[in-house]
Structure formats: C-alpha cells, structure tokens
Amino acid sequence: MDRIETFQDLLDILEAKPEWAQALRQRLLTPELLALPEKFAAFADMVEKRFQALETDMTQVKADVAELKTDMTQVKADVAELKTDMTQVKADVAELKTDMTQVKADVAELKTDMTQVNADVAELKGHAVPVAAQRMTGVIAQAANVRRSRWLNSTQIVDIADDAEDEGRADIPANEMQSFKAIDLAMTAIDKTSGEPCYVVIECSYTLTQDDVARVKRNAAHMARFTGTPAKAVAAGNSIPEAVSIFAEEQDVACATITSKASSPR
C-alpha cells in the first residue's frame, strides 16, 4: 500500500514498517519524550530494587521487633523476679532488725545480770575476808602488836555502843553510830608494848581502800571513847594497794593481808 487516504492507512503502514514509525516519532517527539520510556524503565527498575530492599529491611525489622518482644518478656520476668527478691530481702532485713533488737535486749539483760553477779561476787568476797581474818587471829594480833586476843561478837559490840549512849558518852552523828555498830570485827587484847589492856577494831575488805582505812580509824577512836580503853585500828584485806598502805601508815592504822582460801577468788 503506497497511497495513504485515511488515518487507518497510516497506522497500517507504520505497523508494517516499524522504521517509519520510529522516524515519525523522532520527527514528532522531543528528545526528552523519546528518552522517557528508557528513563521510566530505569526508574521502574530502581523502584523495584528499592521495594525489594525495603521488604528485606521490613523483614529484618519484624525479626528485630520479635526479638525485642522476647527480650521485653524476659525483662518483665526478670523485673518480677527482682521484685520478689526485694520483697524477700525486705522481709529478711525486717527479721534481722527484730533479731538484732532481741539480741540487744538480751545483751542488755546479760550486762545487768553480770553487774549483779559482779556485785554478788564482790559481796561474797567481802564476807569471806572477815571469816578468813577470824581464822588468822595471829596475823591480826601481829599487825596490831598485841597478845592474848579474844574476839568480840556483834552483840558485844552493840552493847558497848548502847552502854555508851546510856552513859552519855556517845554524842556522835547517827551515821557514825550505825557504822560503829556494824564493825566487821573487834577483839580485846594486851598491848605488847605497854602491857595494858586494849581493843583492836578491824575493817575487812577484799581490796582495801582509803575509805576503809578512814572508817576503821574513826571506829577505833569511838571504841576508845566508849570504853575508856585504848583501841587500835587494823585494816585487813586480800589486796592492799600501795597507795592505801601508805595512807594507812600516815593514819597510824595497821594493815594485815588476808590470803587464806576462804578469801581467795575462785
């Protein structure tokens, strides 16, 4: 077909001769439009690659999200376990505080008991010294420089005080009279130096103090005043500190060390 009378004739010729169609397009279209199919194909390819990459990324994201969910589940489990542990720790701490409170109470009670025990032991030691002193008459007599000693009992000592009060020779403070009537030990004897009768007043203590020395000196002075007979003072103890010994010598009070089993600590 060489003649073109209709538009269909043109289409038939262009379909039959592709090179004419190409030439026609080059005449009718701009270079940009001619390049558009190629560019679109390249764009479509790029978009396809990007979608494929996006799908890969989304798959990884989904995997990461799934892993994150698993991790979060573990974290929640760990937090729940930690809360349980903390609850137990708090309970243990509370129990420990209660135990410590009880321990402190027990220790305080034990200290109180030990204080009482120490006081009781001290009292027992104090009671033991007079007993030991009576068994060691010779030691007391030697310290006082007397002989022919005879022990007075507590009733005789009180009688001396009462007789002195009755005869008006006991005008001393009440506390000193009470101390005199509670004298630990006393004896009658003969002074080796003068050969005259005398009394010996003894103050007993496991560990002698200066107060013991001062007390026995005062009670010996009261004994001499109440009886009209000289009286010597002796401080007897299991332990006599050096300072107390010096003080006793200054006060003209003899010291006697009592070391029998009756007064020794167990």
Integer Cα distance of 92 and 27 in angstroms: 95
Digit-coded pLDDT (tens) for 220-242:
999 999 999 999 999 999 999 99
Which residue has better confidence, 20 or 193?
193
Cα–Cα dist 254/24, whole Å:
154
> Per-residue confidence at 120, pLDDT binned at 50, 70, 90?
very low
What is the number of other CB atoms lying within 10 angstroms of the CB of residue 262? Answer: 17
Is 8 a residue whose pLDDT tops 90?
A: no
In angstroms, the CA 201 to CA 217 distance is: 8
Could you read off the pLDDT of 10-48 as tens digits, one per residue?
788 878 888 887 787 777 777 777 677 778 788 888 888
d(CA 200, CA 230): 9
Is 125 a residue whose pLDDT tops 60?
no
Is 244 buried (19+), middle (13-18) or exposed (0-12) by CB count in 10 A? Answer: buried
CA-nearest of 252, 232, 74 to 144 is 232
